[in-house]
Amino acid sequence: ANATLELAISGMTCAACSTRLEKVLNRLPGVEATVNLATERAVLHFEPGALTLDAAKAAVERAGFGASEAA
């Protein structure tokens, strides 16, 4: 997992939100994700080719949150 994507996440209001989103993102093949409630950021490490920005944002949005590229 040697590619990294950082997303700014909107709509997380409690620790269950961030835990739920982290589980959703970690279900994506080839992706290891951590979600930080306090900073409202998700960091995704992934195998090159396993994930696109659009796919990551779509997964976040399906889970009920907003996403934009952070870095």
What is the rounded distance in angstroms from the CA atom of residue 58 to the CA atom of residue 1?
A: 20
Closer residue to ligand 9UX, CB minimum distance, 9 or 51: 9
Closer residue to ligand 9UX, CB minimum distance, 3 or 17: 17
* Sign of CA pseudo-dihedral 48, 70, 57, 54: negative
- Calculate the CA 37 to chain-centre distance: 12
In whole angstroms, how close is the CB of 65 to ligand 9UX at the nearest point? 9
- Residue among 8, 17, 24, 37 that touches ligand 9UX (CB under 6 A): 17
Decide: is 38 part of the binding site for ligand 9UX (CB under 6 A): no
